[in-house]
């Protein structure tokens, strides 16, 4: 089982309260998006679940175990890719496997499989600087999936990509997830992205960061992003979430929230 | 350097027809085109000419000057041959080479480790940084006599002197480089449960590499100085001994031979380092 449970998690940086006694349950193999304006603490929440930040009070349980630091069965995908620039595509994808001491032959096979999966066959020997942003994030995704994690945490992974690449990547993520479901926590400030991808969308508000709504997304899986976008239910959900975010009267929220 | 030194000579030989100085097209390199120099302008030719310039001037000067103490490059070359044939140069070079290599290693490894620690841990940096910079600014030659009192005249003293000269540039450059490595990448490694030493191996050292190479380049230059300083001021051995011995007997050509050898060694080490750096930096976009 791979469940995530945040229990009255509170986090402050100095005197600034970023998360205010927040509770959240994520089921095994559920895809949950955390949607909210900039500064609502959604990234802090994700980092706390990942063991990169410590909660000031409260706790996070993964499969019942309290989080004390990074775990081998959890990986992250970052908005700014974070590839090692001095390593080739295949070495970057194999990074987690190498750290875990997976035998070379097995690692090579798994790396190649993930590279094929994200459509980067032929780019194995390229260095990150030779790739476009979309390709770099494919490497980031393949790297995260290569260790076959139970938990996949994504922090605005497509936020730095152009609109078309972004939709393409969403489509690919849908099909990857359909093939091997994992417990996914997906932070985004795009309403569309959250609806298209998720089983549930958790909407947060800022100052202090808290959950204001938790919305089940009714679309059947396997999904097609294109079909969903033209569904009337999609428009309804979108309008509902937009209404929630609009409450935030600060300009940051208005600019960040509408999605693409 | 080489090309600019040769430029006046070649322009005068080729410059009978004053080429009209047409404005360079936009986006053209700022350096002047060398087309006007004809075949003289090709890079290998200029390189060789530049290399010959100083020896030729030196040779001409020694020819017109009667002073016996002013020897020419040919005299030095002859002395080089003699001292090589007798085996004296080799023995001396072996002794100095041992000190150089041991001292380099003994200084570079701690320099690398301290540099990474200081660059990685901010609080340590706060405490140690003033000392490192003060020591780097101190003319280390000044404490050589004090070191000798503590360590004696033996080979250990020489190695310590060289290591000391090497340590600081390596430590300071490495620390600077490690500070420049994006913290995001360190965090990425942590998120994959990397241990501290794998963070060093996979992230900090490769990320700081351009700075580390710069530190090594400085260190090699300083190590060569340190070898000679050590040999002059402790028990006199090796190439330093040869320099002293022959110059005291006014045999300037022989006295210059170790100097030339040290120059060649420095040149070769710089070149080798450059090659290594080039191989290790294939991942960087060439500007």
Contacts of B190 in chain A (CB under 8 A): 52, 70
Any domain includes A183? yes
Instruction: Give the number of other CB atoms < 10 A from CB of residue B221.
Output: 15
pLDDT at residue B6 tops 60: no
Alpha helices by DSSP H, listed for chain B, are 2-14, 43-64, 73-86, 88-120, 122-137, 144-151, 155-180, 183-191, 196-199, 205-233, 238-248, 252-280
Residue A254 resides in a domain: no
Taking CA atoms, B161 is separated from B83, B225, B264, in Å, by: 27, 10, 22
pLDDT tops 60 at residue B27: no
Query: What is the reported pLDDT for A76?
Result: 96
The SS3 of residue B215 is: helix
Annotated domain spans of chain B:
87-280
- In this predicted structure, the answer to whether residue A224 has a pLDDT above a threshold of 90 is no
At B128 the pLDDT is 92
Q: Rounded CA gap, A139 and A89, in Å?
A: 7
* Confidence at residue B206, expressed as pLDDT on a 0 to 100 scale: 94
Q: How confident is the model at residue A254 (pLDDT cuts 50, 70, 90)?
A: very low
Domain count, chain A: 1
Q: Which residue of A has its CA nearest to B184?
A: A82
A167 pLDDT above the threshold of 70: yes
> Does the pLDDT value for residue A100 go beyond 70?
yes
* Segment 224-283 of chain B within 8 Å of chain A by CB: 282-283
Q: Which residues of B touch A53 (CB under 8 A)?
A: none
Pick the range with the lowest mean pLDDT from A180-189, B72-81, B115-124, B229-238: B229-238
Among chain A, residues having any CB pair with chain B shorter than 8 Å are: 50, 52, 70-72, 75-76, 78, 80, 82, 84-87, 95-96, 99-100, 127-130, 147
Q: Select from A223, A156, A214 the least CA-distant residue to A26.
A: A214
Whether the pLDDT of residue B22 is over 70: the answer is no
The reply to whether A115 falls in a domain is no
Nearest to A84 among B203, B284, B285 (CB): B203
Residues of A in contact with B202 (CB under 8 A): 84, 95
Closest CA to A135 of A162, A174, A102, A104: A162
Contacts of A128 in chain B (CB under 8 A): 283
CB–CB contact B192 A78 (8 Å):
no
Q: State how far the Cα of A151 lies from the Cα of B1, in Å rounded to an integer.
A: 59
> Is pLDDT of B24 > 50?
no
Can you name the CATH fold of B87-280? MetI-like fold (1.10.3720)
CB A75 within 8 A of CB A96: yes
Residue B184: list chain A partners with CB under 8 A.
Answer: 78, 80, 82
Query: Does B82 contact A at CB distance below 8 Å?
Result: no
Query: Whole-angstrom Cα distance, residue A230 to residue A234?
Result: 7
Whole domain around residue A62: which residue ranges? 1-73+178-249
Using the predicted structure, report yes or no on whether residue B239 has a pLDDT greater than 60.
Answer: yes
Q: What is the pLDDT of residue B43?
A: 85
Per-residue pLDDT reduced to its tens digit, B161-217 = 999 999 999 999 999 999 999 999 999 999 999 999 999 999 999 999 999 999 999
Per-residue pLDDT tens digits for A33-43: 999 988 889 99
Percent of chain A at pLDDT above 70? 95
Minimal Cβ distance to B192: which of A99, A127, A128: A99
pLDDT digits (tens, 9 = 90+) for A12-29: 998 888 999 999 999 999
Q: Check: CB of residue A138 under 8 Å from CB of residue A88.
A: no
A182 located within any domain: yes
What is the 8-class DSSP label of residue B203? I
Q: Would you place residue B31 in the very low, low, confident or very high pLDDT band (cuts 50, 70, 90)?
A: low
Q: Which residues of B touch A75 (CB under 8 A)?
A: 191-192
Given B187, B206, B284, which is nearest A52 (Cβ)? B187
Name every chain A residue with its beta carbon within 8 A of the beta carbon of B187. 52, 82
Task: Judge whether A120 lies within some domain.
Answer: no
CATH of the domain at A229: 3.40.50.300
Task: Say if the Cβ atoms of A78 and B285 lie within 8 Å.
Answer: no
pLDDT at res. A61: 95
pLDDT band of residue A166 (cuts 50, 70, 90) is: very high
Mean pLDDT of chain B: 85
B183 to chain A, closest Cα gap in Å: 10
Averaged pLDDT for residues B137-144: 87
Strand partners, A213: A203
Mean pLDDT computed over B239-243 = 92
A183-195 pLDDT per residue, tens: 999 999 999 999 9
Task: Kindly report, residue by residue over B41-71, the tens digit of the pLDDT.
Answer: 788 888 899 989 999 999 999 888 878 788 8
Q: What region does A203 belong to: left with phi over 0, alpha with psi -120 to 50, or beta?
A: beta
- pLDDT confidence of residue B34: 52
Taking the CA atoms of residue B213, residue B219, residue B224 and residue B228 in that order, the dihedral angle to the nearest 10 degrees is -170
Q: What is the DSSP letter of A257?
A: T
Q: Which of B198, B209, B285 sits opposite A129 (nearest CB)?
A: B285
Looking at residue A256, its pLDDT comes to 40
Q: Which letter does DSSP use for residue A180 in this model? A: S
Sorted by sequence, the CB contacts under 8 Å of residue B79 that are 6+ apart come out as B251, B253, B254, B256, B257
What is the CA B79 to chain-centroid distance, rounded?
Answer: 25
Beta strand A183-188 pairing with A200-205 = unpaired
Largest CA distance in chain B: 74
Q: A15 lies in a domain?
A: yes
């Amino acid at each position: 089982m791979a469940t995530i449970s945040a229990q009255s998690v509170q986090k402050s940086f100095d005197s600034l309260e970023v998360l205010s006694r927040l509770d959240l349950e994520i089921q095994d193999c559920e895809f949950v998006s955390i949607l909210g304006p900039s500064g609502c603490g959604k990234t802090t929440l994700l980092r706390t679940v990942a063991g990169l930040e410590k909660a000031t009070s409260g706790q996070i349980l993964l499969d019942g175990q309290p989080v004390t630091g990074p775990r081998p069965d959890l990986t992250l995908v970052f908005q700014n890719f974070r590839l090692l620039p001095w390593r080739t595509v295949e070495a970057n994808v194999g990074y987690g496997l190498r750290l875990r001491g997976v035998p070379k032959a097995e690692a090579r096979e798994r790396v190649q499989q993930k590279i094929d999966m994200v459509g980067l066959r032929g780019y194995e020997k390229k260095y990150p600087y030779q790739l476009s942003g979309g390709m770099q994030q494919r490497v980031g995704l393949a790297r995260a999936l290569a260790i076959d994690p139970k938990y996949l945490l994504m922090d605005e992974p497509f936020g730095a990509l152009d609109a078309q690449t972004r939709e393409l990547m969403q489509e690919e993520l849908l099909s990857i997830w359909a093939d091997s479901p994992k417990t996914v926590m997906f932070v985004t400030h795009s309403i569309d992205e959250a609806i298209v991808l998720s089983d549930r969308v958790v909407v947060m508000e800022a100052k202090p960061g808290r959950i204001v709504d938790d919305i089940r997304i009714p679309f059947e899986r396997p999904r097609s992003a294109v079909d969903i976008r033209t569904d009337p239910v999609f428009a309804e959900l979108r309008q509902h979430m937009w209404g929630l975010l609009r409450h935030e009267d600060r300009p940051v929220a208005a600019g960040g929230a509408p999605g693409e | 350097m080489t090309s600019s030194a040769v430029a006046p000579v070649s322009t005068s030989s080729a410059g009978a027809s004053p080429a009209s100085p047409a404005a360079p097209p936009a986006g053209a390199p700022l350096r002047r085109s060398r087309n006007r120099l004809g075949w003289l302008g090709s890079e290998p030719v200029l390189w060789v000419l530049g290399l010959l310039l100083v020896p030729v001037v030196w040779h001409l000067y020694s020819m017109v000057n009667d002073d016996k103490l002013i020897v020419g490059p040919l005299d030095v070359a002859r002395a080089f041959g003699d001292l090589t044939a007798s085996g004296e140069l080799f023995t001396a070079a072996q002794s100095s080479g041992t000190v150089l290599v041991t001292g380099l290693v003994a200084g570079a490894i701690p320099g690398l480790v301290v540099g990474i620690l200081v660059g990685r841990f901010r609080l340590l940096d706060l405490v140690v940084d003033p000392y490192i910079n003060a020591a780097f600014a101190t003319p280390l030659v000044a404490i050589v006599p004090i070191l000798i009192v503590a360590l004696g005249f033996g080979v250990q003293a020489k190695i310590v002197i060289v290591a000391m000269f090497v340590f600081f540039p390596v430590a300071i450059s490495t620390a600077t480089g490690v500070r420049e490595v994006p913290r995001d990448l360190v965090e990425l490694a942590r998120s994959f449960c990397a241990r501290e030493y794998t963070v060093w191996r996979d992230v900090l050292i490769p990320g700081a590499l351009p700075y580390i190479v710069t530190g090594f380049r400085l260190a090699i230059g300083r190590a060569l100085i340190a070898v000679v300083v050590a040999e002059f001021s402790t028990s006199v051995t090796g190439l330093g001994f040869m320099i002293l011995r022959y110059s005291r007997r006014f045999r300037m050509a022989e006295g210059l031979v170790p100097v030339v050898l040290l120059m060649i060694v420095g040149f070769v080490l710089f070149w080798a380092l450059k090659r290594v750096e080039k191989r290790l930096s294939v991942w960087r976009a060439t500007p």
